[in-house]
């Protein structure tokens, strides 16, 4: 700023150049402040930013509903709901599968030698499947939600997001059993997430 | 300089200025926010959040610097006018 003012002083003191205001009409003066007001300042015209004019590719404008739908599908809430549902289905399948290969299904503690009926076995399998499904759903929703929040906060998408959210999820799950279990859960789940990310990337 | 001429000149310069600003903004934000990995064609959540912030900051900067430049050029013109009046007498 000091350089420009001293330069303008020097220019004016050298000669009455064409830039001095009020000079002859055949050399119109340019008053930058007025032009800047019309370009950048308060008097600029309101324009519709069309990328075709500005230099990008002409793209058909998206309607408001489309924008809202896209914003909803990218949001953290939608992603965590999706992970919750997916976790529920996967957990149910996994639970029923492990119940299928488990020899203790349908075990009746009052009469251990009796073979259980098909209905009892099925009921037990369903209960186990439901319990696994609920656990998986909660874990999936928590992991997805925390990963989305951490990624939104950092503004980058790399493997560290999964590791941090794995630590948070594992820590939250383990914390209910005490601090040490929480730390172990954090480390374990973070390592698991890191392995999955390494495989995926 | 009368406002009409200033407005006309500004209208001519505006298209070029906006195109230039758009190009620079696209380049800068792309360089800062999109790492050259290209594992998938869609923008991830982190990248789109970063781009939103980058564009907001760029436009904010553009506006603030424009105002500062207008202020400085007003001061410059005042000084030149005083010097012209002073040396004219």
pLDDT tens, residue by residue, B36-78: 988 889 889 999 999 999 999 999 999 999 999 999 999 998 9
Q: Which of A11-20, A55-64, A144-153, B34-43 has the lowest mean pLDDT?
A: A11-20
The Cβ of residue A47 has, within 10 Å, a number of other Cβ atoms equal to 11
Res A24: pLDDT: 37
Report the alpha-carbon distance of residue A90 to residue A86 in Å, rounded. Answer: 6
A155 contacts in chain B (CB < 8 Å): 33, 46-47, 49-50, 53
Say if the Cβ atoms of A13 and B73 lie within 8 Å: no
Specify whether the CB–CB gap between B61 and B40 falls below 8 A.
Answer: no
- Over the stretch B14-31, which tens digit does the pLDDT of each residue have? 888 888 888 999 999 999
Q: Which two tokens stand for residue A124?
A: 């037990």
Cβ-defined contact of B45 to A148 (cutoff 8 Å): yes
Which of B26, B47, B79 is closest, CB to CB, to A8?
B79
Give per-residue pLDDT as tens, A21-36: 433 343 467 778 888 8
Dist. CA B41–CA B34, nearest whole Å? 12
pLDDT at residue A15 is higher than 60: no
Cβ count within 10 A of residue B82? 11
Per-residue pLDDT, averaged over A50-67, amounts to: 79
- A3 confidence band (pLDDT: 50, 70, 90): very low
Q: For A143-186, what is each residue's pLDDT tens digit?
A: 999 999 999 999 999 899 999 999 999 999 998 889 999 999 99
pLDDT confidence of residue B89: 65
B63 to chain A: which residues are within 8 Å by CB? 40
The tokens for B85 are 């009046």
> Which of B4, B15, B84, B87 to probe by mutation at the A interface, max A CB count within 10 Å?
B84
Chain A positions touching B26 (Cβ under 8 A) are 56
pTM of the model as a whole = 0.76
What is the C-alpha to C-alpha distance for residues A139 and A166, in angstroms, rounded to an integer? Answer: 10
**What separation, in Å, do the N-terminal and C-terminal C-alpha atoms of chain B show?**
22
Residues constituting chain A: 201
A6 — pLDDT class (breaks 50, 70, 90): very low
Q: Is A27 on the interface with B (CB under 8 A)?
A: no
Q: Chain A contacts of B80, Cβ < 8 Å? A: 8, 12, 19-21
Across the A:B interface, residue pairs with CB atoms under 8 Å apart total 128
The pLDDT value given to residue A124: 86
**Contact at CB, A36 and B14, closer than 8 angstroms:** no
Structural domains of chain B in order of their starting residue, each with its CATH number? 3-86 (1.10.287.810)
A12's CB contacts (< 8 A; 6+ apart) are: A20, B80, B83, B84, B87
Q: Do A34 and B1 touch (CB under 8 A)?
A: yes
Instruction: Name the residue among B81, B20, B32 with its Cα closest to residue A40.
Output: B20
| Average of per-residue pLDDT values in chain B | 89
């Amino acid at each position: 700023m000091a350089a420009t003012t001293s330069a303008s002083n020097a220019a004016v003191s050298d000669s009455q150049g064409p830039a001095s205001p009020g000079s002859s009409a055949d050399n119109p003066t340019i008053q930058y402040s007025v032009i800047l007001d019309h370009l950048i300042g308060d008097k600029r015209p309101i324009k519709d930013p069309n990328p075709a004019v500005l230099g990008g590719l002409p793209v058909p404008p998206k309607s408001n509903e489309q924008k809202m739908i896209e914003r909803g599908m990218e949001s953290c809430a939608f992603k965590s709901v999706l992970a919750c549902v997916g976790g529920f289905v996967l957990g149910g399948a996994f639970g029923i599968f492990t119940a299928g290969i488990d020899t203790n299904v349908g075990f009746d503690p009052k009469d251990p030698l009796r073979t259980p009926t098909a209905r009892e076995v099925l009921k037990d399998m369903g209960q186990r499947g439901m319990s696994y499904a609920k656990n998986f759903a909660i874990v999936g929703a928590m992991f997805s939600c925390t990963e989305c929040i951490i990624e939104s906060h950092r503004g980058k998408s790399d493997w560290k997001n999964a590791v941090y959210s794995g630590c948070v999820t594992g820590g939250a799950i383990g914390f209910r059993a005490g601090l040490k279990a929480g730390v172990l859960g954090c480390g374990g789940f973070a390592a698991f997430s890191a392995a999955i990310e390494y495989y995926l990337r | 300089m009368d406002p009409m001429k200033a407005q006309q000149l500004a209208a001519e310069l505006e298209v070029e200025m906006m195109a230039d600003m758009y190009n620079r903004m696209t380049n800068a934000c792309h360089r800062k926010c999109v790492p050259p990995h290209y594992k998938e064609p869609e923008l991830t959540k982190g990248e789109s959040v970063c781009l939103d912030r980058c564009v907001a900051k760029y436009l904010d900067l553009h506006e603030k610097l424009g105002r500062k430049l207008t202020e400085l050029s007003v001061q410059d013109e005042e000084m030149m006018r005083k010097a012209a009046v002073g040396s004219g007498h």
